[in-house]
Structures are given as structure tokens and as C-alpha cells.
Chains A and B, each alone.
Chain A
Amino acid sequence: MTSLKYRRVNVSDEHHLRNGALKAHSDLKQGSNNLKNGYHVTEKVQKNGNGDSFYQPRVRGEDSFEEAPMYVAVMTYMGYGIVILFGYFRDFLRAVGLEKCHQAQEREEQKDFVPLYQDFENFYKRNLYMRVRDNWNRPICSLPGPVFDVMERVSDDYNWTFRLTGKTIENVINMGSYNYLGFAENNVDFLKTVAEETRQYGVGVCSTRQELGNLSIHEKLERLVAEFLGVESAMAFGMGFATNSMNIPALVGKGCLILSDELNHTSLILGARLSGATIRVFKHNNMQSLEKLLKEAICSGQPRTHRGWKKILIMVEGIYSMEGSLVRLPEILALKKKYKAYLYLDEAHSIGAVGPTGRGVTEHFGVDPNEVDVLMGTFTKSFGATGGYIAGKKELVDYLRSHSHSAVYATAMSPPVVEQIIRAIKCIMGVDGTTEGQRRVRQLSENTRYLRSRLKEMGFIIYGNQDSPVVPLLLYLPGKVGAFSRAMLKRKIGVVVVGFPATPIAEARARFCVSAAHTREMLDKVLQSLDELGDHIRVKFSRHRPSRRQELYNETDFEQDS
């Protein structure tokens, strides 16, 4: 009878730094291999227990989720309350004709059809989203690099429609794009091969992989991805979202169980739903919750029939895009082994962005990537292209080649896009003969640490892991969301703000994506603006004390059973 012990380690700050980019190579050799029950997180760096294994578990920083003061929550709900009341009032005005309704209307001929939209959804859009609509979908007219040009637009009817003024706001610092390694670039020398492929191939393929759309460069890309990730085989797909939604149904089906993190991306949820498998959700990154579900699932089997589950698939992400938290990979791997489940790891945001050489969370934690059953990732972010991949054992990829929805029904990847990915991966791997890729990986990690630590010093509430280049800054109040984003744009900084329904209703936030292409000057300008603005609109909510949420993770030495 095993008793599972989680031992969370309080890691000192200087130790964190040793975990950083290139230095970590030396750490590799020292990392202890103290995997007593399969998933002990090691206490500090110890002497080497098992020297012949390359992959060594590594200490990682904690995810932090500081809680806001109570008054903020109260004010947030009050804010929503006021907006909703106003919404009803204005709907009333619209109904009696005192206010003009700008909304597009149903055709006269179809007025007696069943209404196409439910009222609440429209209420939210009409009365809440419309007030702050100018903060999203801002059109840009340049490369989405570290700075971009935003097209100025104005609204003459309170955000119902926008008119482009023809002016551009130039050189806005881009804190919004997922350009982690700076591969969104238009340097002619770097893009030489991409231009060549465009000249040779054109942009389309006009067929599916299984029919006549399997180009040799697709296969070249797949071999390279597999090599980069250190696994047997890989397959690439034309859209990151569809990589999840069109492949999960090929892996699991009726009689299978999916255990999904509550904060998983929509594409994972859609894929799970399309698969027909039973879905159960565990609390975000909470190993107790996951283990409880695993145990219960195996002991009581499928509902009603109590037949055993055919297979259990745990679905997690490497970096959660709205929280900036990192998956607790070593613990999940241990649970997966103990309960014989399979692991689907979505590295959309983490591939290229974490790990000493940019190989994602497996490398970050010093875990053998072959231990993860399904490695999924996208090319949209770190590689500055588009599409996604699934990698793993050869049997897995062969099965997908013959059964993936995408391979059979969707047009194959565009050749220039393929070449861009090849170019980026080669650069990261250093096979292009330069150290540029590694410089970028290191730079990203430095920039991330710098921005995060400075923001914390300033007293903002910042979510997530210190190594995650996704940096959410909590704004909470709905009124501050719009104000924040507009004021930042005035200071020529483009930020992303998100609120309900993308986040919990009381946790609206701004999100910065750090890039290796950001210079220190840019970050300093952003930080300075944030400092001023944070005081001005009062969003420095941090009280520098450990939150309740964190304590949950820090629970030490609890006995699971016996």
C-alpha cells in the first residue's frame, strides 16, 4: 500500500534564477533523481542518485494567485450590477423609442421566424460589451513584431460601428501578440527561404494530406518537429485550434474518460466533446482533485453499467493562456503512471517559450518527453507561423495519419507557412549555424523574469508562474478594463484586456505576452507607463501576502490514504 506524499518545496529566489535558460544545462547533471513514489518533487539540488539518466526532475517556481482584497470583489460585483441595471434601463428606452437602436435588424420577410438569438446573450453584447468594444479587434497594418502600427478608428455611434480615420498610430509597443521568440519578423535575409518556397509553390495546396496534398516539405517538417521534440514521430496540421478539435476524437471515444483541467482551452473542450467520451473536470492544476477523480473513475467504472473505462486521458496545457500558470507536470506524470492513464499535453503557449533550449514544459521540468503520451503544440506562437502538431510514439502518429479528421478532410498546410516553421525550428535548434535561436530563448526568459518581478515590486497582482511569458495583471473592475486599455494605447502601448466570459466574472485582467524581441528600453517604457497608470486608476491591489489559493498548493505532507 503506497502512501503518496506530496512535498512542496519552498524554493528560494536565487535558486529560481539558477533554473534559468542556459545555466540549467549544468543543473541537469546535478539534479537529483529522488523519485520515490514516482513523483516526488525533489528537494533542492542534491547529489546525483542515478547518473545515467539524462532527464532529471528540476525544481520549479510556484504559480501564484494572489487574492484581491474583499472590497475589490464587492466593488466589482457592484460595477456589474450598475451596468446591468443601466442596460435594462436603456433597453427600456430603446423599446419605447427614446433611444436609437443601432443593432442590425432581422429582414422584414423573416420577422415571423423564430428569433435567431437568445435575449441574454444579446443583452450582454448590447449593454456591456458595446461600452468597451473598441479595446478589441484593433486593426493593425504592420508586422506584429515588438512594435506595430495600429490603424486609428473612431466610432460615431458609441461603438456600434467604427470608421477608420486613415491615420495610423505608429510604433506602438506590442504587449499583446504571442510572438514569444520574435519570429514574427520580416527581415529579408531571414525570410529568404520562405520567399523561395512561395515563388516555387504558391500559397495553397488544394488537396488533403490523404489525397494529393502530401508534399515532401510536409514530411520534412514533421521529421524536424519530431527531432526537435526528441520523440519518435510527429504530424503537422494546418490550424492549431483544429489540431485539438480534430484529433482528440480519433484518440478517445465512447467508453473512454477524459479528465480535463478546468481552465483548458476551448479547442480542447470542443475536441473532447466531439469525441463522445465522458468528460470530468478537475480543479486547475490541483493534483488532489485529479487523483480523487482518477481513483473514483477506476473504482466505480462507467456510470450505470460499472463497466471499466476503456482508457482514461488526462488533458492539460503547458502554460495556461489566461492564468500564466505552468502545468504541474512531474506530479501529473506520476499520477498518470500510478493510475495507468494517458496524458495529452497541449503546449500551445509553452513550446519554444519555456525550457532552457525552448523545448517546452517537458524540458523545463527535466522530464523525458517520451513519457508524455500525446504532445500537442501550435506553430502560431513561438514560431510565428500557423498550424499545430501532434507528436509522440510512432504508433500514435501512424494511427493519426490514417484516422485524423484533419488528414482526411482538411486542406494540407500552406508551403510558405511550412517553410517558416522549418526556419524557426532550425534557428532554435542551432542547425542554421548560429546561436541566434538560443539567444532568443535566453532573452525571452530574461525579459519574462524582469517584467514579472518589476510588476510585482510595483504592487500589481500578477498571476502565474515566474517562468511563464504570459503575464496576467489583474484589473478586476469592469470599468477599469476599458480605461486601462485606452490609456495604454494613448501611451503607445498595445495591451490585451480580457473579461467575462473569457475569465471568471470577478477577475477581469490585462495580459501581456513577453517577447524575446522586446528590448529593455521597451519594457522599461511599458513598466513606467504601468507604474503611473496603476497609481492613476488604482489597480495596484497587491498586499504582498500569500493568498489562499497558493496555500492550497503549498499543503505539505498530506497522506493520501491509509
Chain B
Amino acid sequence: MKHAHAQSRDSVKMAAGQQWVLVEMVQAFYEAPAYHLILEGILILWIIRLLFSKTYKLQERSDLTEKEKEELIEEWQPEPLVPPVSKDHPSLNYDVVTGPPSHKIIVNGKECINFASFNFLGLLDSERVKLKALLSLKKYGVGTCGPRGFYGTFDVHLELEERLAKFMRTEEAIIYSYGFATIASAIPAYSKRGDIIFVDEAACFSIQKGLQASRSFVKHFKHNDMEDLERLLKEQEIEDQKNPRKARVIRRFIVVEGLYINTADICPLPDLVKLKYKYKVRIFLEESMSFGVLGEHGRGVTEHFGVNIDDIDLISANMENALASIGGFCCGRSFVIDHQRLSGQGYCFSASLPPMLASAAIEALNIMEEDPGIFRVLQDKCKHVHKALQGTPGLKVVGEPLAPALHLQLENSTGSRTNDLKLLRAIVDYSMDRQIALTLARYLEKEERFLPPPSIRVVVTVEQTQEEIERAAQCIREAAVKILK
């Protein structure tokens, strides 16, 4: 009997396709003793009984009477919808800007020089852009009253998409009506449950939300650390070898930012492209801070490194910084981009961009194309600011010399985030009193996956003069000396 059992077990272990297994089993059946067969017969009957008996639910088992239920409902006390916010919560009382947030900005009633808005190219104040917006307003009114699919596609949208694609030298571009929603919609359009995304730890919040919405498997690598990324890719390769059939359907993506908003440094794109082909992973690149900033023609980090833009599967950027309008866009090959027209949630289910904002973006692109020297000017100013801020006592400059939005962090933290923020806020206030508008970099502390240390944001624009930059640096130095002691 033992023999027969072992034999049948062995035969089961063998590949199922083999025909003679059945014969072996029939043989084993004949060899087995009677009591064994009876036992198995009873077991089979038991299984049949289980199959046909009434299933019970957990709830039915609980003996709650109606009265008890009423009591439970009576007793249950929910938490308040929102916890109370104290009146002096640091992020409750906003600075109020009256008038336009341009080079000269009036914050809380004081006129300052703007070192805080992402108006890198000064296009917010451009009369040309305003004029185009006004012409558009006259023709189209303000809103589009519909999503792109339902008569929300205007000729200006098509023109803007074409212009963006041409500017970036890609096949196709797609525009969204909100910068934040761009990458946050693009990621889940491609990456689904079960897919794997390798993402930099310093990735901005909209990427994080996109990852979350995709429900994919997310693997974080250390900021700009290609070795760490390769380690993860290798791990995955080993994993894939274990189950090659599954590996054939798992899509993989690397999501990085061109110029990180949280750390103000540039991603090592050439290395990423190498890894892309080595491990067959697609690259999504978020360029909100680098589009219209880096590169000879402002095409961003691909131009900066001289990387072939076709090697990047998808590039997204918002039109709210350098272009000084509203909205965002994705560009790349039609094979990739066109998919979003049915699958990008923020594209399909949201009203399209107001035509006047699209017109403004087109005119801003015109200016960028006509005068590529503007990027040179910006890059020089960035270097200047970066240099001028070096050696500020108690503060360290975080970011590349080419970054248009730097961070000033405390050299020595007090040990508590709240106190650090208070110190930095005091520096911001001090500067604000002396006509230099700065801002703290704001984060949702509980929501960020890797919370960046507290910092002051210093934004460079082409409108700032040498003298203003010196004045700002001087002012920050004074404030640091005074406040940080």
C-alpha cells in the first residue's frame, strides 16, 4: 500500500501531460486495500455534502438582535469630519498678494522684488502674451464648457499641441488643463496593477499621486543614485528569471524628474538611458522645472545632456512655470502619447484648457523660439544667484548652479521641524520687510513619502537685475546673521 501510495504520488509529481499517469493510478486503485477505499469514499461523500450544504455568512452567525443593532447605531460616535486647526497654524494664514505676482510683487501690502514665483522667463508680464490672451478672450470667451471629447477641442488646443510637439521635436503632444494633473494622470494611463515603477525618492508630489493612482508596485531608489537603481533592476531581473512567463507581461517604468523641484538638482539622464536599454525599462521624465530652463533652446534636460528625445518614452511638464500660463502637457511618440486621449483621466474627464490660456501659452512659445538667448540669460542669472548665496552663515544652498529654484536649508537643524520652520520663516519675514519676497517651500508633512528638510525657496527669473540679486543675497545674509546668530 505504501508502495502504491508513493508511486501514485510520484506519478502526480510528474508532468501532467504524460499519458501513462492515468494507467498507473488505475493500477494503484486495484492494489489499494478495502478499508482505504472505504475511507476515501467517505471523504468524497463528505466533500459533496460540504458542497451542497448551505453557506453561512459571518453576519448571520453574529446574534445581534435588531435592538442591539439600534443600540450600536445609537452608541457609535464618529470622529469629527476634520480635526480643528489652530488659528496660528503655519499654513493657514496665507500671504496675500495684491496686484499681479510679477517681478514687483505686493505681498501683505509691501512692494517687494519677487524671488518666489516660478516666473523664470518673466513671461507673466509680457505684453505680447497678454495681448494674445485678450484677442482670444474676445473670440472664445473664457471657459470651454466641456471636455475635449465633447466639443471642448478648440483650434487653439490643436495648435498648441502641434507647437509643443514641434518645439520639443517629438511626434505628438497632449495638453491637460492643470499642471498637477498631467503626470498624475499620465502614469496611471500606462502603469496598472501588477506593473513595476522604479522611482526616485525625491520625486515631487504629483508623481507620488500618479504612482498611487496606478496601484502598481513602486520601488524607490535613492535620489540620483544610479547604483541603487541598478541594484533594484538587477533584483527584478533575478525575480523575472524565476517566473519568466509572468515577467513577459509586467511593464516596468522609471519615473524621474529632469530638474527636481524638491532638491534643485538634475537627474543623470545619460546613465538612465543606458539602464533603460540594459534592463528594458521605459523612462517617464517630469520636466516642469527644466522645460524652458535647461538647454540651449529651453527644451529641457534632454537638450542639456544631448540625449535623443526619442529615447525617453514620455516627457511631461507643466505650462505654469516658464510658460507662465496654466495647464500641462505630455509629449513623445504617437504610439505612447495617443493612448492618453482615451486613458488619461485628467484629460478625458475634465473640461479642457480655457482657450485664452492656450493662446497665451502659444505666444509664450513664440517668444521662446524667437529669442533663445533668453535661456542663456536665465542660466547666467541662476549661476549668479547660486554663487551669491554661497557662504550665507548658518544656511546652505541646496541645488545645482543651473537650477532656477534653489533651496536654502539650515546648516544645523534645531532638532524640531516646527522650530526650524519658525527660524526660516523669520528670515523670510525679515527679507520681506526689506523688499525681498521669498517663500518657504511648502509640503504636506504627513503625506510626503520622503519629506524634504525645511527650506526657503529662492527663485531666479530673467527679470532680476545684477543689483537686485546682490541686494537679495545681502539681505538674506543679514537675516541669517541676525536670526540664526
| CB neighbours of B392 from chain A (8 A) | none
Residues B198-215 near A (CB distance < 8 A): 204-206, 209, 212-213
- Tell me if B72 is interfacial: C-beta within 8 Å of chain A: yes
User: How many residues of chain B have a CB within 8 Å of chain A?
Assistant: 127
A136 engages B142 (CB within 8 Å):
no
- Tell me if B410 is interfacial: C-beta within 8 Å of chain A: no
Complex: A380 Cα to B64 Cα, angstroms: 48
- Tell me if B439 is interfacial: C-beta within 8 Å of chain A: yes
Q: A204-B119, A213-B97 are in contact. Are A104 and B335 (CB under 8 A)?
A: yes
- Counting contact residues on chain A (CB < 8 A from B), the size range is 35 or more
Q: A177-B151, A416-B356 are in contact. Are A204 and B62 (CB under 8 A)?
A: no
- Tell me if B39 is interfacial: C-beta within 8 Å of chain A: no
- Tell me if B395 is interfacial: C-beta within 8 Å of chain A: no
A141 engages B155 (CB within 8 Å):
yes
- Tell me if B365 is interfacial: C-beta within 8 Å of chain A: no
- Tell me if A24 is interfacial: C-beta within 8 Å of chain B: no
B130 engages A198 (CB within 8 Å):
yes
Q: Which of A207, A312, A401 lies in contact with B92, CB distance below 8 A?
A: A401
A184 engages B151 (CB within 8 Å):
no
A178 engages B145 (CB within 8 Å):
yes
Complex: A136 Cα to B333 Cα, angstroms: 22
A273 engages B249 (CB within 8 Å):
no
Complex: A183 Cα to B192 Cα, angstroms: 39
- Tell me if B350 is interfacial: C-beta within 8 Å of chain A: yes
Q: Which of A139, A242, A338, A399 lies in contact with B153, CB distance below 8 A?
A: A139
A206 engages B321 (CB within 8 Å):
yes
Q: Which of B81, B143, B181, B335 has the most CB of A within 10 A?
A: B143
Q: A311-B79, A405-B209 are in contact. Are A144 and B334 (CB under 8 A)?
A: no
- Tell me if A9 is interfacial: C-beta within 8 Å of chain B: no
B181 engages A242 (CB within 8 Å):
yes
- Tell me if A402 is interfacial: C-beta within 8 Å of chain B: yes
B116 engages A211 (CB within 8 Å):
yes
- Tell me if A114 is interfacial: C-beta within 8 Å of chain B: yes
Q: Which of B67, B99, B180 lies in contact with A1, CB distance below 8 A?
A: B67
- Tell me if B102 is interfacial: C-beta within 8 Å of chain A: yes
Nearest opposing residue in chain A for B151, CB measure: A176
Q: A409-B206, A410-B179 are in contact. Are A209 and B143 (CB under 8 A)?
A: no
Which of A226-234, A294-302, A434-442, A549-557 lines the interface with chain B? Answer: A294-302
Residues B316-344 near A (CB distance < 8 A): 318, 320-321, 323-326, 333-336, 338-339, 341-343
- Tell me if A92 is interfacial: C-beta within 8 Å of chain B: no
Instruction: Output the least CB separation between A34 and chain B (Å).
Output: 24
A104 engages B78 (CB within 8 Å):
no
- Tell me if B126 is interfacial: C-beta within 8 Å of chain A: yes
B137 engages A113 (CB within 8 Å):
no
B141 engages A212 (CB within 8 Å):
no
| CB neighbours of B81 from chain A (8 A) | 251, 311, 313, 342, 373-374, 396
| CB neighbours of A340 from chain B (8 A) | 76-78
Complex: A136 Cα to B341 Cα, angstroms: 11
- Tell me if A202 is interfacial: C-beta within 8 Å of chain B: yes
B85 engages A213 (CB within 8 Å):
no
Q: Which of B72, B157, B339, B354 lies in contact with A299, CB distance below 8 A?
A: B72
Q: Which of A117, A184, A270 lies in contact with B345, CB distance below 8 A?
A: A270
- Tell me if B309 is interfacial: C-beta within 8 Å of chain A: no
Residues B284-339 near A (CB distance < 8 A): 310, 318, 320-321, 323-326, 333-336, 338-339
Instruction: Output the least CB separation between B480 and chain A (Å).
Output: 20
- Tell me if B268 is interfacial: C-beta within 8 Å of chain A: no
Complex: A129 Cα to B338 Cα, angstroms: 14
Q: A202-B126, A213-B97, A240-B350 are in contact. Are A408 and B139 (CB under 8 A)?
A: no
Q: A114-B252, A414-B326 are in contact. Are A212 and B139 (CB under 8 A)?
A: no
- Tell me if B371 is interfacial: C-beta within 8 Å of chain A: no
B70 engages A214 (CB within 8 Å):
no
Q: A104-B338, A107-B333, A273-B213 are in contact. Are A140 and B154 (CB under 8 A)?
A: yes
Q: A203-B129, A212-B437, A298-B73 are in contact. Are A112 and B98 (CB under 8 A)?
A: no
| CB neighbours of A169 from chain B (8 A) | none
Q: A-B pairs with the 6 shortest C-beta distances?
A: A239-B178, A399-B82, A241-B350, A177-B145, A214-B94, A380-B351
17 contacts between A and B (CB under 8 A): A118-B192, A139-B154, A184-B144, A184-B145, A204-B124, A212-B95, A214-B96, A241-B349, A242-B181, A265-B349, A274-B213, A308-B76, A311-B80, A341-B78, A381-B145, A395-B84, A410-B180
